[in-house]
Structure 1
Amino acid sequence: MRVVLLKNKTAQLDKYEVTFKSNGYETFFVPLIAHTHVPEELLDLINDKDYVKRLQNIVVSSQRTVECLSESVLPKLNSATAEMLLSKTVYAVGPATEEFLTRIGFKNVKGGKNAGTGSILADLIVQDLLEQDQEAARHPELLSLVGEIRRDIIPKKLSSQGFRVKEVVTYQTVDLDDNLERFQKVVSPHSWVVLFSPQGTEDILSDLKKHPDTKIKIASIGPTTEKFLNDKGIQPQVVSPKPDSISLLNAIKLSEEKH
């Protein structure tokens, strides 16, 4: 069985590749967007000793941000500053982001597998900080590391509870111009096609709608992408209950057993 993953392969180790290959699936990655690190603003902040001392909590919602930290931020810091940064509490969206943060040296990562969406993570942050008896008015602002294109669920929820959030862009994305051609080279009848995000999928989805007889099956990594597909008139055969490789694999296996 072939699985086509519409995503950039995660640097160093991609859990989706490991999980599916170990279960007998052929895996193919089709990157749809190009990422460019923009670490300058973050580096300026971190190199301000007073700011780093005040900073308590960081919010990370994407593996792309972790790649920027790993490749373009940490190597440029002196050892003392890097150690201070890695000691901060980091709230992460999704298990893959949590695991990646831990792998590059962060010692206190929260959320992750228990926070598959930004909305859930924001609720977890509010609950966690209030349980620590940290009044919002006196709490240092949270540092949220984001991509240039992002949703504002996390800062809105935190701000509504009185917490201040500083957003810093760590990467930019652009759609690649040959997504459909590269997709067509690896997809085959009865393949599973997994969408992780709406970005960069327009041409591919239009082509799939034109050729429904190929019996290609679509899986969505979560409800946000499912809604995007529904708005396009497409109903995925599978929606992963959690945004991680094991949940996705099990959902696909369950669908195959039913059919």
Structure 2
Amino acid sequence: MTPTTKTPVMLLKTKSTPSDGYEEHFSSIQTAGGVGFEPVFVPVLEHRHNRENLDEVRRLMRNGGFSGEDVEGVKRYGGLVFTSQRAVEGFVGVIDADRETQPPLACLIKTPIYVVGPATSRTLSSIPSVSPSQILGAHTGNGEALARFILSHYTTLYPGERREEELERDNEIPPLLFLVGEQRRDIIPKILGSNKITVDELVVYETGVMESFEEDLKAVLEDTGERIAGVGGVRWAIVFSPTGCEAMLRSLHLLDPEERAQQEKMGRKTLVATIGPTTRDFLRDNFGFEPDVCAASPSAESLGDGIVRFLEKSGLGGH
């Protein structure tokens, strides 16, 4: 059945390119009662690529840094790690810029590329000449699970006996290059490092809250506020990062405990979902706010399932 009503879903993120899995998923699902969803993007973060470090990635690719002939003074890596869509986009930009003058991905043909979720995997898969078999770990869902997966997979690529004296004399397993933002957790380098796999982190983008975020969100709230009465009187704000949480709560009038209590008493109209436990715990610990839904894994499918279950359980999913 084609849904006749749409629940606004405010995705507090920048729309991913060339396609956005969250937009596609929420545009296609509905509750059992026939309520569909209307995704709207409200960018929170401003991402600035670190050109100097992306140039270093380009130098590594051109000079045998990945599965190529070693050039003196160039450290060689055995694989790449991504846990951020923005890092992937910076990397893709390097490849696109070199496509006219360099053999397409010749230096990466056999290089494993480890990712933490489907969004990063999808973007990398869109690059010509990247084999799907190179992109690994999309099922893991978080940094710790990805680190454990890398540990089990990466060591199989170097099956020789890993005697301690050999490791001390010559790092038998090449290090991994982890392209990151300036704000990240260190769980992957810690887990792999404790198992004698070196992970070098290279910051390829910086992040800050967009100056226009609160005004942009207020404009969307005004627009959606006029349309939610016909779909149970609710809309969703989807939070993807601790950054911007305070501005979001302030815009929703949920930062002040008294205002929050008043909304709860009257029936809060804007429901909040987080992409995972890190952001949920940040809201709990710093603002005493409990999100309505926390995705079981950082994917559009898991987030959508959680929201649909919440609406149906609370009687807001239509009839």
- TM-score by structure 1 length? 0.92
1:114-129 to structure 2, matched below 5 A, reads 114-129=139-154
Q: How many residues align?
A: 258
SS of structure 1 residue aligned to 2:103: helix
1:151-166 to structure 2, matched below 5 A, reads 151-166=185-200
Q: Identical aligned pairs, as a percentage? A: 35
Residue deviations 1:89-114 (CA, integer Å, cap 9, x gap) = 100011111121112243211101x2
1: CA distance, partners of 2:66 / 2:183: 26
Out of 37, 47, 60, the residue aligned to residue 35 of structure 1 is 47
Alignment check: 8 A CA contact 1:118 1:154 kept: yes
C-alpha displacement at 1:83, in angstroms? 2.5
1: CA distance, partners of 2:57 / 2:155: 27
Cross-structure match for 1:174: 208
2: CA distance, partners of 1:50 / 1:163: 17
Alignment check: 8 A CA contact 2:80 2:179 kept: yes
Cross-structure match for 1:204: 248
Alignment check: 8 A CA contact 1:37 1:72 kept: no
1: CA distance, partners of 2:195 / 2:65: 26
- TM-score by structure 2 length? 0.76
1:227 aligns with 2:281: yes
Alignment check: 8 A CA contact 1:192 1:218 kept: yes
2: CA distance, partners of 1:94 / 1:32: 21
1:100-115 to structure 2, matched below 5 A, reads 100-105=123-128, 106-107=130-131, 108-112=134-138, 114-115=139-140
1:4-19 to structure 2, matched below 5 A, reads 4-19=10-25
SS of structure 1 residue aligned to 2:205: strand
Out of 187, 191, 197, the residue aligned to residue 235 of structure 2 is 191
**CA RMSD in angstroms, aligned pairs only:** 1.9
C-alpha displacement at 1:86, in angstroms? 4.9
C-alpha displacement at 1:128, in angstroms? 1.2
Letter in 1 for 2:79: N
2: CA distance, partners of 1:233 / 1:40: 43
Q: Is the radius of gyration larger for structure 1 or structure 2?
A: 2
Alignment check: 8 A CA contact 1:74 1:82 kept: no
Cross-structure match for 1:48: 63
Q: 1:237 to 1:172 in 2, by over 3 A?
A: same
Letter in 1 for 2:271: K
2: CA distance, partners of 1:203 / 1:80: 46
